[in-house]
Every structure is written in C-alpha cells, then in structure tokens.
Amino acid sequence: MIVTNTETIAGYRIVELRGLVQGNTVRAKHAGRDIAAGLKNLIGGELKGYTELLTESRRQALERMLAQAQQLGANAVVNVRFTTSAVTSGAAELYAYGTAVVAEPSA
C-alpha cells in the first residue's frame, strides 16, 4: 500500500477513486506518565512517555485507515492527514484520514 500526504504519487497515475478512508483511536493519560511528565516540567526536556503514547496512537490510527482502504480494493492512499482532538479531560482522539485510490505505474 502506497501512502502519501500529497495529492499525486510520483511515477504513478491515479485510475480510480475508492473514497474517503479513516482510522482513529482514543487514548487516555496514564497516571505514571502524568507523574513523570510533572517532574519533567520542573527541569525541562522531552516528555518521552507522551511521545511514545502519541507515536503508538498514530501507528494504530494509520493501520486502521489502511485496513479500510484495503477493504475498498485500493492500493494507495493519497492526501493523508492526521488530527487530534480532546474527548474529555485526560483523553484525546488521534484521527488519520485520506483518499483511497487505485494507482498504476506511469508508462
């Protein structure tokens, strides 16, 4: 599966649109990560627990989006975007979306 954040794929031509595909996950904060983040705020630096949480969330949302594209018979997803939103205090949604297409190598 080809995945790109552009509207076209270099060396390919889009021959069929299969539609909007999306994947999401909602994650809650972990008490241990919150304590570590609070301490890190005092001295500065990367909040590795949150970095790991967001990395895993992006991966899961992307996998879900690609599974939906595969069900539609697509071999690529173009114009991929990610967004986040707060669901409740302490929980956030990570949402991935794009356009599923069938692409063929250019002649």
In the chain, the amino acid numbered 37 is: A
Other residues' Cβ atoms within 10 Å of the Cβ of residue 6? 9
Q: Give the start-to-end residue ranges of the domains of the chain.
A: 2-105
Residue 36 has pLDDT above 60, yes or no: no
3-state secondary structure 17-81: EEEEEEEEEEEECCHHHHHHHHHHHHHCCCCHHHHHHHHHHHHHHHHHHHHHHHHCCCCEEEEEE
**pLDDT tens digits for range 59-70:** 999 999 999 999
Report the topology of domain 2-105: Translation Initiation Factor IF3 (3.30.110)
The most confident of the ranges 29-33, 36-40, 45-49, 51-55 is: 51-55
